[in-house]
Structure 1
Amino acid sequence: MKKKLLLLSTGGTIASVASDTGLTPGESGNDLVKLLGELPFDLDVRDILKLDSSNIQPEEWQFMADQVYENRLNYDGIVITHGTDTMAYTASMLSFMLQNIEIPVVITGSQVPINVVLSDAQSNLRLAFAAAMAGKPGIFVAFDRKIMRGCRSVKVRTTDFDAFESVNVPPLATVTSDGLVFRKDYQTYRDIAFDCQLKKALDPHVALIKLFPGFDPDLLRAMVEHGCRGIVIEAYGLGGMNFIRRNLVAVIGELTSAGIPVIASSQCLYERSDLTKYEVGREALLKGAISARDMTSESAVTKLMWALGQGMDIKAVQACFNQDLVGEVTIED
C-alpha cells in the first residue's frame, strides 16, 4: 500500500518566477510536483501561503503549526516548501510548537527557482519526500542531500547549493549510493505514550543582540522600556561580556532582577557557550544570565519566544533552557 503524503506550499525561492520587481513567489505546489514525474506515493497538495520567507513572521508560524497539527493523523508525512532565508527559524519554532509530533514533517526549499534548468529544487524536493516516507517522527530540514533536525539547522551560505548546516550535531541522514541513510545513533524525541499537543502561543517581544566592542548597555534598558520581554545576547567566545566602563553585566543584573530573561549564546557558530570558564562569563552568570550552551541563535530566540508565550516567568524560562526538549541543546551532566 502506497504511503500518503501532504505537501504544504508557502512560496519562497523554490516557487519564484521573474517579475519587474525581481523574483517573487508564483508557482503553485502542483507546479512544483509536476516537474518530478511519477511519484511512488499518494500526494495531496495545498497552497497555504505565497510569501518570500523574509515575510514569514510569528503569525505564519502559528498558521503553519495549525495546518500540520490538523492534518498530521491523516498522512504518513508532511512536506513544507519554504523560502531559505527564515527556514531555520520556522523549523525551530515548529519544533517547539509541535513537540511529540507523530509523523515526519520535512521543510525544504531551494537556492534557485524550480523553473530554472540547473535548479537544486527538484533534488531537494525529492529528498524531502524520501525523508517524509522514512517514517521517523520530528521536524526536519532537507537540503542538499542532508536531513537535519529543524532546531539545529542554520543557513550558512547565500548562493551555494550547500546552504544549510546542522550545527553542533551531525546531520541525521545523508544521501549515498545506498539511498537515504540515517545515522545508527539517530534519536527520536517522540514519546509513544503521549499524543502531540499543539502549543502555539508565543511572545514575539524579544530581541537578539550581537555584542561588539563599544556596545552601549543603555540600549538594553531602552528596549525593555519599550516592551521587550526577553533578550538573547550573542556574546564573545564562550559567553564573555564586558563589565568595565560600559558595564553590560550590571545591566543584565538589573534586567533579570526585574524578571526579564537574558540568554547568553556565542557568536561562534560551532561549539558551546560556557559562562563558568572565564571571569567575564562568570560575572554575567552571577547576575542571572542563562546559558544557551550549544544552541543556534535561531533556536535560542524561538525557544525564548515560545517559553514566554507559554506564560513562563524568568525561573521557568531558566528551567526550560536547562532542558533538551526536541534535540535543540546538549545538556552535559
Structure 2
Amino acid sequence: MMAMMNPKKIFVLYTGGTIGMSSGSDGLRPDTALVGKALQPFADGLVFDWHVCSPLIDSSAVTLEDWRNWLTLLAEKIPQYDGVLVLHGTDTMAYTANMLALAIQGLDKPVVLTGSQWPYDAEGSDAPRNLATAVAAFDLALPQVVIAFDGKLFPAVGSSKVSTEVAAGFDNPHFGALAEWDGSAWHHIKAQRAQEVQPFAVRCPSAEAEVVCCTLIPGCTVRHIADGLKHTSARGLILQSYGHGNAPADAGFIEAVGSFVRKGGLVLNISQAAQGCAAAVYAQGSALRQAGVVNAGKCNLETATALLTLSVSYQQTAQDLGTALKALDLL
C-alpha cells in the first residue's frame, strides 16, 4: 500500500541497442517501439520517466561525445529520482557501465544498465527477464552502478560481455554477481563494502581524450607497437599483456614505452586473461615496470578504458592511477 502511495520515480535513459530493435532491409536497427510498453508490467509502485536519445544507436557506435551527453543529463536527473535505468546495447554496455561508475561520484542510489541478446518482440527473447531483473534491482537500493542480466546483478567494475550466443551474456570474473533474481525474490546477496561518503559530482570525459589499446601476441607486435608510439598523439595506452603483466623484453619496445611515459603518457598494463592480475610477479615483466608502466592488477579492459580516459581528461599522473586502482579494490 505504501508503494502505491509513494511510488519510486525511476529515470529511464534509452540509448538504443538490440532490446528495442526491429528488422530492416539491412538487418536489425534501433527503434522507438519499445517506449511505453516494455516497462508497463512493472508500473505498480514505480513511475518511469523516459528520455529517448535522438538518434538511438547501436552500441558499437558509442562515442566519447555520447558519454559526455549522457553524463551531463544524469548529473541533472539523478538528484531528482530514486534510481536510473539505462537501456543500452550489449556490445559496449560494460564500457558504458564502467564509465558511469567511475565518472559519477557520491552516488547514493542505483544506476542499473540492461539490454538483451534478442529484440524485445522476438520469440523467446531474453529482454522481458532482463527488464524484470533490472526493475527488481531497485528494491535492493544499492548505491552503485550495476549491470542486470540473465537474472544476475553485476558490479560495473570488472564486468565484461562474455557471449553473443546465450542469454548469460555478461560476467564479472573477479568480483562475481552481487545477487541473483529468481523472478520473485533475490538470493545470494553479497554484503557491500562500506564506501567513503563523498558529495555528489559527475566528471565528464573530454571529447579529445585519446586512449589506445594494444594487445600483445607472439610475433612482430612489439615492433609495430613501438613504431606506433613514436608517432601517436594519444596520451593514454592500455597494454594487454600476458599472464601477470608480462611482455617481451625487446629493447626497442621497452625504449618506445619509456619514451612515451617520459613525454607525459600514461600506460596501464592489464592482463589478457579474463581472471588475470597484472602484478610484479615474474622477472620477465620487470623491464615494463622500470619503463614507467602502471600494473593495473585485476583491472579488465572495460574498467581500464574508463579509468584511463578520465585520467587523460583530467591530466592525472601515474600515481593518481595507482590510487584509483587501490580504491576500486583492483590492486
* TM-score after normalising by structure 2: 0.91
- Residue 286 of structure 2 aligns to a residue whose secondary structure is helix
From 217, 224, 247, give the equivalent of 1:241: 247
Find 1:280's aligned residue among 264, 278, 284. Answer: 284
What residue identity is the alignment partner of 1:41?
L
Counterpart in the other structure of 1:87:
93
Quick check: 35-44 or 198-207, which moved more? 35-44
Look up the match of 2:49: 44
After superposition, the C-alpha distances for 1:153-187 in whole angstroms (9 at most, x for unaligned) are: 10010121000001211211111476123634222
Q: Does the CA-based 8 Å contact 1:29-1:47 persist in structure 2?
A: no
Change (3 A) 1:139 1:302: same
Q: Does 1:199 align with 2:200?
A: no
Equivalent residues of 1:207, 1:228 under 8 A apart: yes
- Offset from partner CA, 1:23-44 (integer Å, 9 cap, x none): 0011345244256365331221
Mapping of residues 247-286 of structure 1, within 5 Å: 247-274=252-279, 276-286=280-290
Which of 30, 50, 60 is residue 54 of structure 1 equivalent to? 60
Question: When the two structures are aligned, how many residues end up with a matched partner?
Answer: 323
Moved more, 233-242 or 124-133: 124-133
Q: 1:28 to 1:309 in 2, by over 3 A?
A: farther
Show the counterpart of 2:160. 154
**Secondary structure in 1 aligned to 2:41?**
coil
Superposition deviation, residue 326 in structure 1: 6.6
Aligned to 2:181: 175
- 2:300 counterpart of 1:296: yes
State the partner residue of 2:13: 8
Q: Which amino acid is 2:324 matched to?
A: Q
Match of residue 148 from structure 2 = 142
Aligned CA-pair RMSD = 2.0
What's the TM-score, normalizing by structure 1? 0.90
Aligned identity (percent) is 26
Q: Quote the offset at 1:13 in angstroms.
A: 0.1
Contact residue 64 and residue 205 of structure 2 kept, 8 A: no
Return the alpha-carbon distance in structure 2 between the equivalents of residues 309 and 83 of structure 1: 25
For structure 1, which segment, 222-231 or 99-108, has the greater mean C-alpha deviation from structure 2 after superposition? 222-231
Structure 2 residues without counterparts, runs of 5 or longer = 1-5
How far is the alpha carbon of 1:189 from its aligned partner? 3.5
> How many angstroms does 1:55 deviate by?
0.9
Tell me what 1:104 maps to: 110
Structure 2 residue matching 1:95: 3-state secondary structure: helix
Deviations along 1:226-279, one digit per CA (max 9) or x if unpaired, are: 3111111100111111114x64223222221222111111110103111x2212
Does the 8 Å contact 1:9/1:29 carry over to 2?
no
Q: In the aligned structure 2, how far is the partner of 1:324 from the partner of 1:98?
A: 16
Alpha carbons 1:138, 1:190 under 8 Å: kept: no
Rounded Cα–Cα distance in structure 2 between residues aligned with 1:295 and 1:224: 26
Q: Is the 8 A contact 1:79 1:132 kept in 2?
A: no
- Residues 189 and 326, structure 1, Cα contact 8 Å, conserved in 2: no
Q: Residue 26 in 1 paired to residue 31 in 2?
A: yes
SS at match of 2:105: coil
Matched residue, 2:3? none
1:218 positional shift: 4.7
Secondary structure at 2:67's aligned position in 1?
helix
Deviations, residues 130-168 of structure 1 (Å, cap 9, x unaligned): 113422111111101111111221001012100000121
- What are the Cα deviations for residues 282-323 of structure 1, in whole angstroms up to 9, with x where unaligned? 1211111100100111111221010110122xxx23332333
